[in-house]
Structure 1
Amino acid sequence: MLAHAFLAVVRADEHTRQSAPDDLVPLSCNEIQDLFSALVVQPLSTVAHRLSWSGWGRRHQARSLTSHDRRQAAAQM
């Protein structure tokens, strides 16, 4: 609740300032949250860790797909 209140206050302040250029709409709560996370909050893992996790997940999916295909082929015999 506190985080949402923070976002709502920042958004309200942004909308009252009208300082955005004409081709930009004022910041939304979601955009403020994304910017805050990207600029202030430190990532919990490194890029190497994220890539490793992605590779593990994709390998796991490939093994699952192979197992599923084998089971389907055996059931059709």
Structure 2
Amino acid sequence: MPLSELVRVAGARWSVEECFQAAKSQAGLDHYQVRNWTSWHRHITLAMLALAFLTALAADATPEPPADTHHFARSRDPITLTVPEIRHLLAAVFNPPVVTATKLLHWSTWRRRHQATARRSHYRRRIASEPAG
């Protein structure tokens, strides 16, 4: 087997591990208490479908990337909706909290703006450390 094929497989393994970690934390992939294969298979299938649904919603909510390479360093817009944020919003809709929908959306916007501020600071620090040339 050529070295290039081994490198490709090793790189693919990392992305698979990332997908499993996301499924465990966002869709409850590891929260099963079953005794037979059929039950385990149903649980895993539903967890993966839930993650696929959340990922599709997040991808659909993502706008086209800006042409400006330093856009994120200057933008004050909140970050796009992420899988954890969509999961949190859906959980709040189906399990109504003691707060109103207006307060919930306000909190979501505030949180995403806060994350955008952190991202902006990160990009500014990276731009400042880039060598001139």
TM-score w.r.t. length of structure 2? 0.26
Larger Rg: 1
